[in-house]
Amino acid sequence: MLKNCFRHKGKSLFFIICAGFMLSTTPVEMRAAFHIWPFSKKKKPVEKPISTYKRLTGRDSVEMKGVFNVIKKGDTIYYEIPTKLMGREFLVVNRLQQVPSELNESGVNKGINYENQTVRFEWNKRQKRLIVRQQRVTPEVPVYAAMARSVKDNYIDPIIASLKIEAVPSDSSTLIVKVNDLYNGKENCLNDVFNNINLGTSPTTDLSRILDVKAFKNNVTATSELTTTVHEGNSKVNVTVVVSSSLSLLPQYPMQGREEDARVGFFTTSNLRYDDYQHKVEHKHYVTRWRLVPSDTAAYMRGELVEPVQPIVFYIDQAVPKHLRPYIKKGMTDWNKAFERAGFKDAVQVFDYTDSLAQVGDDMGYSVLTYDASTKANAMGPSVIDPRTGEILEADIIWWHNVQSLISEWIMVQTGAQNPEARSLRLPEALIGDAVRFVACHEVGHSLGLRHNMIASNAYPTDSLRSASFTARMGGTSASIMDYARFNYVAQPGDGVKVMSPNIGPYDLMAIEWAYRWYPKGTNEKKKLDDFLKRHTGKLYKYMEAQSQRTAIDPRALSEDLGDDAVKSARYGIANLKRIMPNIVKWTTTGEPGQDYDEASNLYSAVIYQWSLYLYHVMANVGGMYLENLTVGDGQTSFHFVEKNKQREALQFLLDEVLTHPKWLFDTPLSKLTYIQRKTPLGVEEQQPNYMLKNQQNYILWDLLNNERIIRMYENEYENGKAAFTAATFMDMLHRHIFKSTLSGKSPDLLERNLQKSFIDALITAAAENEGVKINKKLYEDDMFADAQWYLACERDNYLSSKSRNILLTNGQVSRNSDALSLKRGEMIRVMKLLKTRLSGANLAARLHYEDMILRIQTALGLTK
């Protein structure tokens, strides 16, 4: 009874407990609780939902590991970015990989790096977005400075993209974002190819796609095929390019920057520096250079040659013809002797680009010499830099195949008179190979950070370039391979000169040691480097940036020139050109059936171009100034004017060589066989020799009568008095030469009449640059001066450093009030008076010519009613 009662009571207690439990739990908890009882009904376990993260990284996705992971799920591309990389700087590097013929013809080819920018990522947790900011170089400021906050507030970086975060793992160690729109043509925040190659269009999304995305240790690269439509007149042309866009992680610990010095020519990157105690904001300019650190610092400091921890490694494109590879490698590794001066052994290493390397060819970490099948005749050696410090991260050397034509032309025109092997269209491999060597050496110099040094050829005396022993000892034509000093056109037949091409010179050895010498932490680098440069002074170590040929101020720093005496070098050069002219047909005849005279025309054109260069080398002396890069206490002056006798000699040379009909060049039997052919956008033009002469004379006169040139002469006279070559003397020499026949009472012939008109035209054009007279109806419309012109000078180096000299003597109001205008108008009045006195004694052609010029002058001066 008691037992039964207990059982009854126990059962009641059980149900009471269960009832209480049911009241205090959720339905799910109840179900879970009842499962523990043996008499509960057994149910299937409920499957847990798969997280979005696991779904994106599951078995049906392809994952590539690298600086951050790339996930491919069907056609969708995701980046899995570690959260520890939030705020780190990435460099965007965009390159062309394939181009159509339309771009190829313009020299826009594979391998060209057309856009760089720095970006960083931010995690917006509230909105679940990944923010992409374009990272500008943040001004330097000490962390302790009170104004550090102000720098932060006043240099905010712009947002260029905001991406939805698709998934985050449970430990929040990474973020997954979809990136298709960044690379398939819909967005251009990371890759704006068509604007950067000057087409000014956007991709057509339906005709664009992502080809591949790869992850590497330090970068991720997406390759896309993008198409746009370009309108040409009434027609449309589709342009398709294949491009690669890399996100490369910049070093967490930036390299120590080395500040530029005006005495050495390196490319630079710039920044500002703020400090609480400074009196003005500092502008910092760091030279671009590779991060070379000795592998054995103790041995390095003892003066032993030491290999760098990370050498500078270049790979040669598989497309490079095999017979040229040894010469290219030789030119590239020639720089090792310069790095030995800086204490490094085997700093530059060169390897062939193999099939195995092609598998990782999109890795931005590889520096490659790309060989492009193109009609462009050139080569270039740019590099990719860390904009914070100037550290060179990678180099892109572009070698256009048709540079062979330029090299061959240089060899024939500059050495054909001295070297019998240089007198045919098929030059020996040794000659071509040597030229390929020095071109490769020059371009690698740019990839090492070096700028052109156009004053280097001035270090070698002109007459010494005719010495076999001097040229062998100095190794070529210039103190720097970074000059545009090609082959030795000064050497004459019989001089016995063997070394005809440029090599690494004294300036290059000095410059590399200055930039790449490693110093341990705590060293006063600035003093060390200044002391080093003080030990390297004189002509062999001078540096000066490029100038425009037509408006050059310092005659020592020009492209394509040799020697320290422009007139003497030009006379030697012309003597060799005169030897070439009678042989042009012979040297360009191959014996092929049906051969025409096109090759003869090309060589003839090259001779005229070379002659034109000599003229401009000499012209720079007229009204020229010598500019110096000063440091305090070095005993130099900032500038001084070219000597009086040199200016007079230079002007007389121009009067004799171009403003007098050079019959040896333009009245030749060759002109009966072929005219000079020139390629234009509308096709090939045949230009008659006398037309070429008139065109050259026009340019010479326009450039001689440039206002700034004349104003420099007046400044020279003001400073040096009778020791100066004066503007009045300059104009009188021109007048007496150009109007020689008229002054003697003779009627000028056709070419003399053209020269006189060109002179008056140049005076009118230059005088009309500033509105110092009343407005007249113009004799010529402006667009008549804007037609296609054959610029006979090299283009200016566009990469100017912060130390570039820009001498301004006239502008604005000063120009309108300058004596240059008075001189020109005075000359026009002088000519007008002379012509009026010669009308009656002139023949019909001369009288019409005089009347025409009188009318032009009167119209220009506002003297007509």
DSSP per-residue codes, 309-354: SS-EEEEE-TTS-GGGHHHHHHHHHTTHHHHHHTTBSS-EEEEE--
Whether residue 569 is contained in a domain is answered as no
Which residue, of 229, 249, 269, is where some domain finishes?
249
Q: Residue 360: what pLDDT? A: 62
- CA–CA gap between residue 203 and residue 226 (Å, rounded): 6
Per the DSSP assignment, residues forming a β-bridge with 391 are 289
Q: What is the mean pLDDT of residues 210-235?
A: 93
- How far is Cα 589 from Cα 786, in angstroms, rounded to an integer? 38
pLDDT at 680 (0 to 100): 73
Q: Which amino acid is at 477?
A: T
| pLDDT tens readout for residues 476-500 | 999 999 999 999 999 999 999 999 9
State residue 804's pLDDT score: 59
Are 286 and 273 within 8 A, CB to CB? Answer: no
Q: Of 149-158, 350-359, 712-721, 751-760, which range is least confident?
A: 350-359
Q: Are residues 29 and 85 in the same domain?
A: no
Position 30 pLDDT exceeds 50: no
**pLDDT band per the 50, 70, 90 thresholds, residue 675:** confident
Pairing of strands 312-316, 348-352: parallel
- Unique residue bearing structure tokens 């037309």: 691
Q: Are residues 18 and 159 in the same domain?
A: no
Same-domain check for residues 22 and 160? no
pLDDT value of position 229:
95
> φ, ψ for residue 175 (rounded to 5)?
-125, 140
Band of pLDDT at residue 359, cut at 50, 70 and 90: low
Q: Does a structural domain hold residue 64?
A: yes
Of 228-242, 358-372, 378-392, which gets the smallest average pLDDT? 358-372
Q: How many helices (H) and strands (E) does the chain have?
A: 29, 23
Same domain, 111 and 202: yes
Contact between 543 and 263 (Cβ < 8 Å): yes
Is the pLDDT at 780 greater than 50, yes or no? no
Q: Whole-model pTM?
A: 0.88
Residue 300 domain flag = no
Mean pLDDT of 239-248: 97
Are residue 79 and residue 224 in the same domain, yes or no?
Answer: yes
Going from the C-alpha of 361 to that of each of 78, 102, 220, the distances in angstroms are 21, 25, 12
When pLDDT is averaged across residues 513-517 and rounded to a whole number, the result is 99
164 and 17, same structural domain? Answer: no
Flag whether 155 is in a domain.
yes
- Would you place residue 674 in the very low, low, confident or very high pLDDT band (cuts 50, 70, 90)? confident
What values do phi and psi take at 639, rounded to 5?
Answer: -160, 160
Is residue 213 within 8 Å of 70, Cβ to Cβ? yes
Instruction: Tell which of 249, 280, 299 closes a domain.
Output: 249
Whether 30 and 127 share a structural domain: no
* 624, 809 contact by CB (below 8 A): no
Average pLDDT estimate for 288-311: 98
Residue 27 pLDDT > 90: no
pLDDT of residue 1: 43
Point out which residues pair with 367 in neighbouring strands. Answer: 314
pLDDT band at 336 (very low <50, low <70, confident <90, very high): very high
Looking at residue 786, what is its pLDDT?
31
Confidence of residue 46 (pLDDT cuts 50, 70, 90): low
Q: Rounded distance, CA 571 to CA 563, Å? A: 12
| Dist. CA 48–CA 26, nearest whole Å | 19
Question: Measured between alpha carbons, how far is 97 from 111 in angstroms, rounded to an integer?
Answer: 6
- In a domain, residue 557? The reply is no
What's the mean pLDDT in 93-99?
96
Q: What's the confidence (pLDDT) of residue 222?
A: 97
Mean pLDDT of 423-451: 97
Distance separating the N- and C-terminal Cα atoms of the chain: 148
Domain identity same for 99 and 211: yes
Q: What is the pLDDT of residue 332?
A: 98
Who contacts 643 (Cβ-Cβ below 8 Å, separation ≥6)? none
* Residue-level pLDDT at 50: 59
pLDDT bucket at 769, cuts 50 / 70 / 90 = low
pLDDT at residue 8, as a whole number? 45
Q: Which residues, other chains included, contact 614 with Cβ-Cβ below 8 Å and sequence gap of 6+?
A: 569, 570, 573, 574, 657
Q: Are strands 113-124 and 89-98 parallel, antiparallel or unpaired?
A: antiparallel
223 found inside a domain: yes
pLDDT band at 3 (very low <50, low <70, confident <90, very high): very low
Q: Count how many domains the chain has.
A: 2
The pLDDT, as a whole number, for residue 49 is: 57
150 lies in the same domain as 239:
yes
Q: What is the mean pLDDT of residues 575-597?
A: 95
Which range of residues forms the domain containing residue 216? 53-249
Contacts for 747 with CB less than 8 Å, ≥ 6 apart: 741, 841, 842, 843, 845, 846
Query: Do the beta carbons of residue 382 and residue 447 sit within 8 Å?
Result: yes
The answer on pLDDT for 123 being more than 50 is yes
Mean pLDDT of 586-609: 93
Whether residues 200 and 88 fall in one domain: yes
Of 221, 249, 277, the domain-final residue:
249
Quick check: is 153 in a domain? yes
86 and 174 co-located in one domain:
yes
Say whether 832 sits in a helix, a strand or coil.
helix
pLDDT range class, residue 168, cuts 50, 70, 90:
very high
Are 384 and 394 in contact, with CB atoms under 8 Å apart? Answer: yes
Least confident interval from 109-123, 523-537, 666-680, 800-814: 800-814
- Euclidean distance between CA atoms 358 and 350, whole angstroms: 16
Mean pLDDT, the chain, as a whole number? 89
Q: pLDDT-derived band of residue 356, with 50, 70 and 90 as boundaries?
A: confident
Does residue 179 sit within a domain?
Answer: yes
Report residue 633 as tokens. 């206490």
User: Which three-class secondary structure state does DSSP give residue 541?
Assistant: helix
Q: Which pLDDT score is estimated for 811? A: 61
Given a cut of 70, whether residue 311 has pLDDT beyond it is yes
How do beta strands 367-372 and 312-316 pair?
A: parallel
Least confident of 198-212, 298-312, 465-479, 776-790: 776-790
Residues 22 and 88 in one domain: no
